[in-house]
Amino acid sequence: MLAEIRQQPAALAKTLAAELRATERLKKFLATRRPKFIVLAARGTSDNAAQFGRYLLEIATGIPVSLAAPSIHTLYEASPDFKDALVVAISQSGESTDTNLVLEKARAQGAFTIGITNEANSSLAKLAEHVFLVRAGREKSVAATKTYTGQLLAIYMIAYALGAPIALDELRQVPDWTAKALSLDDDIKIRAERYRFMDHAVVVGRGLNYSNAFEFALKLMETCYVVAERFSSADLMHGPIAMVGPSFPSFLFAPAGVTWPSMKEMMEKLRSLGAESLVITDQSNAEAEKLATRAIVIPASLQRKGAAPAELFTPIPYIVPAQLFAAHLAVIKGLNPDQPRTLSKVTKTM
């Protein structure tokens, strides 16, 4: 898992370079066939990537986006109308049975289909009309890391193809920002020691980093066996905050931008409750570091100006410290993060 986390800058750069020409062709095609709505289908870590896609694509393109519920097809045998839709299936292995079924049915109804996968010869790659291949190389660890960030990158490219105000020159900086996040590895390993006996936690994110709250919590659950609940800052305040008390472990993604005021309010509330907060941020948000009990600060300023959100490119660099934290904590707890109990690399569900 640690080795694959450290491969991410190279994997991202390779994916971007290899897929850019096809993305430009897709952009020309979608200009003549703009979808009325978008449906994203995925499971597990890929579903967290889809959650990111829901935010990015709606914010940046204005096209309504929904997350597919595969059991509607597999269990209830219903047939939603996918006419005039863009349907995107996301799967590390490309062999998720129910995700592929959603794609197959959508294509039969006339939807334009896109697949995002790490496996060029997978069933998903053969089903989709356009394929974004994540060039991450074989992922051996059960806990997905480099394929998750590769999937996020592919979603940025889909947004670009749909006319989103995303500058390719900025997108090319993502591998470097990811490398800067990796430079915190030794510091994160030391910080993880404090949480050796942690068995429960909350993870909080909002907007474009809401998906990272789900992904960080998943990594804590599957590699460290920590019961990790994930919330947006708004949802945590609507009831679940009652479970938080003194020394309760809380992890937060806190970029500068439009989500910061609500995240700041959340952090102030956690401080008043005596909770222990660890924030992941970057140099553009010094206030977050001051409010948290502890902070992991990526040595770069990721806030941007322009039509797109200030925190537009934070999700990929921000998840890297969380991945490192989970991997190191698992080892500190005497667990093997590469082989979590009861899990296998490819999970097929119906």
Does 188 share its domain with 305? yes
- Whether 278 maps to a domain, the answer reads yes
- Whether 235 maps to a domain, the answer reads yes
At 239, the pLDDT band (50, 70, 90 cuts) reads confident
Does 38 share its domain with 75? yes
Domain that residue 71 falls in: 2-172
- Whether 293 maps to a domain, the answer reads yes
Tokens of 58: 């709606």
Does 184 share its domain with 126? no
- Whether 346 maps to a domain, the answer reads no
The region, left, alpha or beta by phi > 0 then psi within -120 to 50, assigned to residue 207 is: left
Does 244 share its domain with 207? yes
- Whether 214 maps to a domain, the answer reads yes
Does 285 share its domain with 308? yes
- Whether 69 maps to a domain, the answer reads yes
- Whether 342 maps to a domain, the answer reads no
- Whether 22 maps to a domain, the answer reads yes
Total number of domains constituting the chain: 2
pLDDT tens string 252-275 = 999 999 999 999 999 999 999 999
Alpha helices in 76-145 (DSSP H): 97-108, 123-127
Quick one: CA dihedral 202, 205, 210, 212, positive or negative? negative
Domain termination site, one of 157, 172, 187:
172
Mean pLDDT within 176-182: 98
Does 168 share its domain with 21? yes
CATH code, 184:
3.40.50.10490
pTM of the predicted protein model: 0.94
Does 76 share its domain with 123? yes
Give the per-residue pLDDT at 96: 87
Does 199 share its domain with 129? no
Does 51 share its domain with 111? yes
Domain termination site, one of 152, 172, 192:
172
Residue 296 CA to its chain's centroid (Å): 18
Instruction: Say if residue 350's pLDDT is above 70.
Output: no
Give the per-residue pLDDT at 335: 95
pLDDT tens string 74-124 = 888 888 899 999 999 999 999 988 899 999 999 999 999 999 999 999 999
Does 194 share its domain with 327? yes
Instruction: Say if residue 287's pLDDT is above 80.
Output: yes
Q: Is the Cβ–Cβ distance between 65 and 57 less than 8 Å?
A: yes
Closest by Cα among 102, 86, 30 to 54: 86
